Amino acid sequence: MAGVTVTLKKADFSRYAGLGEVAEDMVLYHLAAGYVKFADPVVPFLTGALKNSAVQAQSSWESGIIRYGATGPSSAYAAKQYYVPMNHRDGRRDHWLKHVETEYADNLREIAKKAALQAVRRYG
């Protein structure tokens, strides 16, 4: 097991395709940031290392890549917490990114829309 990595694909927001690569990367970055923001309250939490690992890997967000526990000892821990159902406390859960995708779909669409408008204004 090697952590948890989810890749958002440009096809996931095809209505914004054709904006140009820089603008599309901007939309991906904002979408990834939205996923991480909405996942924050449901990512399993013991010391905060797992929850914070996605923010530490944000340099890959413009590629639409969200990583939890990408390296080191947190890698196996992240995969176990994500893929193995267990009794998490305080609303924390496994498969937290799937939860975000279903529970916050409207919010994510709005983030993509705003990022695309901002990109058009900036890179036009």
Number of domains observed in the structure of the chain:
1
pTM: 0.85
Where residue 84 falls (left for φ over 0; alpha for ψ -120 to 50; beta otherwise) is: beta
Domain region containing 85 = 4-123
- Residue ranges with strand state E in 1-124: 4-7, 65-68
Tally of CB atoms within 10 A around 10: 15
pLDDT in tens, the chain (124 residues): 468 888 887 666 656 556 677 778 888 889 999 999 999 999 998 888 888 888 877 778 888 889 888 777 778 888 899 999 988 888 999 999 999 999 999 999 899 889 888 888 887 6
Q: How far is CA 109 from CA 14, 28, 52, 92, 102, in A?
A: 12, 12, 24, 24, 12
